[in-house]
C-alpha cells in the first residue's frame, strides 16, 4: 500500500458519507476525524433515527473541535438546520445525519445544500445511514466501513489506531477508488492517512490544498 494525499476537509462543498453496513459508526468517526480544528464551532444535526442507530456525538470527547449539537425528530428539520448553518460564516463546518431515504432528501434538497456551501464557504457533510445510495448533488460521495484496528505499538492485546475502508464512488475532479484510512496520521501529522489498496493509484485532486485535509 502507498500513502496518498487525503482529501481537503476544509473545501467548501457538500460531501456525502454513507455507512457501509447497518449500525456501523465508521461513517460518523470518519467525518469527525476530518473536521477542521480551530476556534469556530461545528454545527452537528441529527434526526431521531440516526441517534438510535449511530448514537449521540459528544463535543468534549473531540480534542480541538467545538460542537453545537442539535437534535430533531424529522429529516426535513435536519435539512432546514443544515441550510441555515451553511449560510453562517461563523461556523467551520456543518454536519447533518439523516437515516434512510425520506422523500424530502431528494436531489433538489442536496443541490440547495451544495449551492449554499459553495456560496458561503462553509464545508457541509451529509451522513446517510440505512441506505445504499440515492441521488445527490454532492461533489464527493463516500462509502465508509470499519476495519480491524491497527496493532497497538505498546500492547498487542489492546486496540490500536482506528482503521476504515473508504470508497470514493462518485466525485468531481477526483478519481474514484478505495483506500484504507488510518487515524494515526491525524494525531501525528494533523491529517488522515489514505493508504492505497491494490489497483488504486494516488488520489488525484483539483486543488493544491489537498494534502492539508484534517488540519
- Domains, the chain, ranges and CATH? 3-207 (3.40.50.300)
**What pLDDT is attached to residue 134?**
80
- Cα–Cα distance between 87 and 93 in angstroms, integer? 10
pLDDT exceeds cutoff 60 at 212: no
Cell of 177: 477508488
Q: Residues 6 or more apart from 189 whose CB is under 8 A from it? A: none
pLDDT at 164 over 60: yes
> What's the pLDDT at 84?
95
Report the mean per-residue pLDDT for the chain: 81
**pLDDT band, residue 203 (cuts 50/70/90):** very low
pTM for the full predicted model: 0.82
3-state secondary structure the chain: CCEECCCCCCCCCEEEEEECCCCCCHHHHHHHHHCCCCCCCEEEEECHHHHHHHCCCCHHHCCCCCEEEEECCCHHHHHHHHHHHHCCCCCCEEEEEEECCCCCCCHHHHHHHHHHHHHHCCCEEEEEECCCCCCCCCCEEEEEEEECCCECCCCCCCECCCEEEEEEEEECCCCCEEEEEECHHHHHHCCCEEEECCCCCCCCCCCCCHHHCCC
CA dihedral of residues 174, 213, 62, 170 (deg, nearest 10): 0
- Examine the pLDDT at 171 and tell me if it is beyond 80: yes
The pLDDT of residue 96: 95
Q: What pLDDT shows up at residue 207?
A: 33
* pLDDT the model gives residue 208: 31
Work out the burial of residue 121: count CB atoms within 10 Å of its CB; fewer than 13 is exposed, 13-18 middle, 19 or more buried. exposed
Query: 53 with 22: CB under 8 angstroms?
Result: yes
Distance CA 58, CA 41 (A): 13
187 pLDDT band, cuts 50/70/90, is: low
CA separation for the pair 36, 95 (Å, rounded): 12
pLDDT digits (tens, 9 = 90+) for 48-101: 888 887 777 765 556 677 889 999 999 999 999 999 999 998 999 999 999 988
Q: What is the pLDDT of residue 210?
A: 33
pLDDT digits (tens, 9 = 90+) for 108-136: 999 999 999 999 999 999 999 887 778 89
Tell me the C-alpha to C-alpha distance, in Å, between residue 1 and each of 148, 152, 197, 200: 17, 19, 6, 9
pLDDT at 190: 56
Residue 27 has pLDDT above 50, yes or no: yes
Q: What is the mean pLDDT of residues 146-161?
A: 81
202 pLDDT band, cuts 50/70/90, is very low
Amino acid at each position: 500500500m502507498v500513502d496518498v494525499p487525503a482529501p481537503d476537509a476544509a473545501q467548501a462543498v457538500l460531501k456525502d458519507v454513507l455507512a457501509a453496513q447497518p449500525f456501523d459508526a465508521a461513517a460518523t468517526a470518519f467525518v469527525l476525524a476530518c473536521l477542521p480544528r480551530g476556534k469556530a464551532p461545528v454545527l452537528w444535526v441529527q434526526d431521531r433515527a440516526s441517534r438510535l442507530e449511530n448514537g449521540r456525538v459528544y463535543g468534549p470527547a473531540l480534542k480541538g473541535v467545538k460542537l453545537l449539537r442539535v437534535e430533531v425528530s424529522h429529516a426535513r428539520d435536519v435539512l432546514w438546520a443544515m441550510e441555515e448553518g451553511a449560510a453562517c460564516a461563523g461556523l467551520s463546518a456543518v454536519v447533518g445525519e439523516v437515516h434512510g431515504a425520506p422523500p424530502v432528501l431528494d436531489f433538489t434538497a442536496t443541490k440547495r445544500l451544495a449551492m449554499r456551501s459553495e456560496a458561503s464557504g462553509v464545508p457541509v457533510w451529509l451522513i446517510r445511514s440505512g441506505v445504499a445510495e440515492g441521488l445527490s448533488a454532492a461533489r464527493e460521495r463516500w462509502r465508509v466501513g470499519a476495519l480491524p484496528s491497527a496493532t497497538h505499538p505498546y500492547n498487542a492485546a489492546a486496540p490500536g489506531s482506528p482503521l476504515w475502508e473508504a470508497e470514493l464512488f462518485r466525485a468531481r475532479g477526483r478519481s474514484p477508488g478505495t483506500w484504507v484510512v488510518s487515524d494515526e496520521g491525524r494525531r501525528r501529522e494533523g491529517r488522515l492517512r489514505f493508504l492505497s489498496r491494490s489497483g488504486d493509484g494516488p488520489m488525484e485532486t483539483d486543488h493544491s490544498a489537498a494534502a492539508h485535509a484534517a488540519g
